[in-house]
């Protein structure tokens, strides 16, 4: 089985076997462990799970929404048929409501309608974080101060949600671009496969435009959890991991003509990127807990 499937299913098994059931703000209990770390070397192949299907187009467009478009406007995603953030979109009247009950969860100025407030792409744009990172990688590869933080205290109160993947650290070693990702809270069945694929694509894109080779991703999680309504699906994925014939790790193709990060295609087709040799064991559905 590809190394990413091994790392992922090992984490899921650890949570189910040793995790603690806890209450949380969503009203749906989760089973959690307090922390976890894994490492992915992109030389081993692209981290797209083979034990379930990964929908790469949506994952790539979400990360480009944040890092390239530097947008907090949910309509940007909706125009590309990506609906990951629909539940968190601020309404026309400036309220953010529970989709099922209609309860007002947070109130904003109506000018923030259709956005997620001062989060993610808003912070990227306000502090010019992608531009600063790429400039540093090109001009000073040995810089040890490349921390990109979405956790800005002054912006949290006016954000719908504080960032889950909140910080990245970047370094160049022996011509390879390496990345450390920090995640404060992790929905393992739904969020983690998307997040890992996104940051692997991002690393490869930035490496390409900076004339570097993709390296290693270290990933640190605080509060890795599985919601109780996701347990059966996760058990099925672990069964596939243990019992089904192994699938090969896929490779990611990036348009080799792209030399500037802004030029990667962020349209509906997302034509600058696709997976080669991707075989998987089929779709698994998990509940999304707001």
All structural domains of the chain with their residue ranges: 3-54+129-276
Q: What is the pLDDT along the chain (290 residues), one digit of tens a residue?
A: 689 999 999 999 999 999 999 999 888 999 999 999 999 999 999 999 999 999 999 999 999 999 999 999 999 999 999 999 999 999 999 999 887 788 888 999 999 999 999 999 999 999 999 999 999 999 999 999 999 999 999 999 999 999 999 999 999 999 999 999 999 999 999 999 999 999 999 999 999 999 999 999 999 999 999 999 999 999 999 999 999 999 999 999 999 999 999 999 999 999 999 999 999 999 998 877 76
End-to-end CA distance of the chain: 32
Q: Which of 138, 270, 148 is nearest to 209 (CA)?
A: 138
Q: Can you give the pLDDT at residue 25? A: 86
By CB atoms closer than 10 A (0-12, 13-18, 19+), residue 205 is buried
Tokens of 88: 């968190």
164 is an active site residue: yes
By the 10 Å C-beta count (0-12 exposed, 13-18 middle, 19+ buried), 173 is classed as exposed
The pLDDT assigned to 111 comes to 96
Are 171 and 146 in contact by the 8 Å Cβ rule? The answer is yes
pTM summary value: 0.96
Q: What is the pLDDT of residue 290?
A: 62
- CB burial of residue 111 (10 Å; 0-12, 13-18, 19+): exposed
Give the active site residue among 164, 186, 210, 270: 164
CB atoms within 10 A of CB 163: 21
Which CATH class, in words, describes the domain spanning 3-54+129-276?
A: alpha beta
């Amino acid at each position: 089985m590809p190394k990413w499937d091994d790392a992922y299913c090992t984490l899921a098994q650890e949570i189910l076997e040793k995790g603690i059931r806890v209450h949380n703000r969503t009203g749906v209990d989760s089973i959690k462990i307090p922390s976890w770390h894994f490492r992915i070397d992109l030389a081993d192949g692209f981290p797209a799970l083979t034990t379930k299907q990964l929908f790469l187009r949506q994952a790539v467009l979400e990360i480009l929404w944040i890092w390239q478009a530097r947008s907090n406007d949910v309509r940007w995603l909706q125009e590309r048929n990506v609906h990951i953030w629909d539940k968190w979109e601020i309404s026309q009247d400036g309220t953010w409501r529970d989709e099922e009950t209609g309860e007002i969860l947070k109130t904003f100025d109506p000018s923030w309608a259709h956005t997620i407030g001062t989060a993610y792409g808003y912070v990227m744009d306000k502090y010019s974080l992608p531009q600063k990172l790429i400039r540093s990688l090109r001009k000073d590869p040995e810089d040890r101060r490349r921390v990109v933080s979405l956790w800005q205290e002054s912006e949290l109160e006016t954000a719908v949600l504080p960032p889950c993947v909140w910080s990245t650290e970047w370094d160049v070693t022996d011509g390879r671009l390496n990345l450390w990702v920090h995640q404060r809270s992790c929905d393992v069945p739904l969020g983690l496969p998307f997040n890992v694929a996104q940051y692997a694509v991002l690393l490869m894109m930035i490496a390409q435009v900076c004339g570097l080779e993709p390296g290693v991703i270290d990933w640190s999680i605080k509060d890795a959890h599985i919601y109780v309504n996701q347990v059966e699906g996760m058990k099925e994925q672990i069964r596939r991991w243990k019992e089904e014939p192994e699938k090969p790790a896929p490779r990611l193709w990036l348009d080799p003509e792209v030399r500037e990060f802004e030029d990667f295609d962020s349209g509906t087709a997302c034509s600058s990127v696709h997976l080669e040799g991707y075989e998987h064991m089929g779709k698994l559905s998990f509940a999304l807990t707001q």
